[in-house]
Every structure is written in structure tokens, then in C-alpha cells.
Amino acid sequence: MKKRRVAHTGLSTQAADLLRPRLDAFLASTDPKARIGFDPVEFPHRYTDPRDVEVSGLLAAALAYGRADLFRPKVDALLKQMGPSPAAFVRALDVKGAKALLTGFVYRFNVGTDLAVLLLGMGRALREHGSLEALFVRGFKASGTLHGAIAAFTAALRDVPMEALRKAMGPERGLHHLLPSPLGPGAAKRLNLYLRWMVRGPDAVDFGIWKQVPASALLVPLDTHIGRMALHLGLTQRTDLTWRTAEEVTASLRALDPVDPVRYDFALCHYGMSGACPAKTLPQHCKGCLLLPSCKVGPRVIARGSLQF
């Protein structure tokens, strides 16, 4: 008989009380400014105007998949061509301008037509709503859920003249990967990452420029690094990178900080990205880790010599 999975409902009060001071000490020991250059959040940090921050941030987050050394030059080149104000650029953009900017653009799953949809959609949102925040908040209020709000946001961004675009630039190829609609069961990591940038803070990493969405409503941007760290710390028992797993991890983080549950995300993610807590864990990785007393894996690594995740 197949063993039935017991749902993980978040950390107990006792577990949260033990983990919280360790995670706070870990967070205090990190230098987020030193890691910004390794993160797509570096791009919106070039700007000060909130509209430029939200436009450049969504472009950067949308393309932040695969190897950083491959997507960063693509984002950098596009922003340079868009001039000093990305918001002003997309607000004035039309199909002809999109073709001039994006003909020949290819990055893994995406071609120029895919990016044109994103940029034209942002321009339309700015013209009709004044900001990307206003467009997102409309869906957030209508649906009452973060999943529903993101789904409405991506659907609205994709509401652009597709036939004219296809005629000018050719068919789209990876549009659903860039702007998933319908949203589906995936973790929507890049969109949740974008929301973290816009909503929480301001601090050294996140901007806090969207004031109408509470940080308590955010979902952790779940990727392989956060998934591995979450398993190590007992934040979830799930191993898939789905929306449901992101909800479980966030429920555990909410037990630590109900007001700002994703505040640990940047530090934990970069702890994995930097190689300090890699997929193949060795004793030297674990012995000096501040989180070792709460880790489900570290003691076994030290005892056995290594462990592969």
C-alpha cells in the first residue's frame, strides 16, 4: 500500500522559537550588498524613479533563468538601448519600435516577439493605470489571493496586438515561459521574486515601492537553492518546486515572522548559490554554519563525510 503523505502545516511554535534566533543571527552575519552583483536585482538598482525600478525589475526578473553569465548581458544590452528611463521607453513603444529593438533577439526559450509582448504590455499598463503596481493591485483586490493576482497580472500584460506583432516580427516561441497564463501549479519563482523586490523593504536589496500590497501576502520565490535549504531546515517535507511547496515553505517562514515572512529569502538563496551550501554537501561546508543546530542534514554529513542532494 502506498504511504500517504502527511501534510506539512508549518513549523510548530517550539520549532519556530528555536529556529528564529538562529536565522536572525545568520541574516545578521551576511553582507547583502556584496551579493547584489550576483543577482538580477542589480538591474533595478540602477534607477531611482519608482516607474523605472518596476519596469526594469520586471524585465530583469522575467529573463532571470538559466546561467547568470548568459542572461545578465541580455538584460544589460536591452536596458542600455532603452535609454535613461525604461518606463518612458515602454510608455512610448509601439510595434515598429519593438521590432527595431528586438529583431534578432534570442535567449534560450525566448525570441524577440516574446519580449515585445512584455514591453508593450508594460507600456500599456503605464498608460492606462499609471504604474505596474496599480495593474497588479487591481487583480489582487479582485481575486483576494496572490495566485489569482499574479494570474490576472500576466494575463493583462499579454493583452497586446498579437497579430500585428506576429506579422512584423514572426511568431512567439516561449511566451508562456516568460509570462505564464494561465498560471498553473508551478512556483512562479521569477514573478514572486519580482514581487519581493517591489513590495518588501526598503532595505539593501528590496525596494518597498509598492505600498498597496502587504509583505505578509508574499510567497517565497522557490528555486532549487531555497528548496534545498527549506528541506535542510525542516520548513517543508516536499521536494517538488511547485506553488504548493512554496506555500508550505512560506507557512513555516510566517511562523517566524508573520509580517515579513520572506525576509530570509535573499540570504538563504545566496548561501546556496555561493556554494556555501551546495547540492553535494561536505563536512567543511557544515562545520562552521550558523544554521547547523537546526539543520536536518548537516550532522549526517559530518558523520558520513558527504551527502548528495
Q: Give the list of residues 6+ apart from residue 30 with CB closer than 8 angstroms, or none.
A: 267, 270, 271
Distance set, CA 214 to CA 50, 59, 174, 262 (Å): 17, 23, 31, 12
One-letter amino acid at 267 equals A
Q: What pLDDT score was predicted for residue 307? A: 66
Res. 139: pLDDT tops 80? yes
N-terminal to C-terminal alpha carbon distance within the chain: 27
Burial of 59 (0-12, 13-18, 19+ CB in 10 A): buried
Q: What pLDDT score was predicted for residue 298? A: 85
Average pLDDT of the chain is: 94
Distance set, CA 79 to CA 58, 97, 194, 226 (Å): 12, 14, 17, 28
Res. 3: pLDDT tops 70? no
Tally the C-alpha atoms within 13 A of residue 240's C-alpha that lie toward its C-beta: 8
> Beta partners for 19?
none
How far apart are the C-alpha atoms of 213 and 211, rounded to whole Å? Answer: 6
Q: What pLDDT score was predicted for residue 11? A: 84
How far apart are the C-alpha atoms of 89 and 109, rounded to whole Å? Answer: 24
Residues of the chain above pLDDT 70, percent: 96
* Cell digits of residue 109: 526559450
Q: How confident is the model at residue 9 (pLDDT cuts 50, 70, 90)?
A: low
Quick one: average pLDDT of 105-129?
98
Q: Are 57 and 44 in contact (CB under 8 A)?
A: yes
- Write phi, then psi, for 118 (nearest 5 degrees): -60, -50
The per-residue DSSP string of the chain comes to: -PPPPPPP----HHHHHHHHHHHHHHHHH--HHHHGGGSGGGTGGG--SHHHHHHHHHHHHHH--S-HHHHHHHHHHHHHHT-S-HHHHHHH--HHHHHHHHTT-EETTEEHHHHHHHHHHHHHHHHHHSSHHHHHHHHHHHHSSHHHHHHHHHHHHT-S-HHHHHHHH---SSHHHHS-SS--SB--HHHHHHHHHHHS--SSS------SS-GGG------HHHHHHHHHTTS-S--S-BHHHHHHHHHHHHHH-SSSTTTTHHHHHHHHHTTSS-SEE-HHHHTT-TTGGG-SSHHHHHHHS-EE-
Q: Which domains does the chain have, with CATH numbers?
A: 1-30+219-309 (1.10.1670), 34-217 (no CATH)
Pick 279 or 101 by higher pLDDT: 101
Quick one: average pLDDT of 227-248?
96
Q: What pLDDT score was predicted for residue 5? A: 41
* Cell digits of residue 125: 499598463
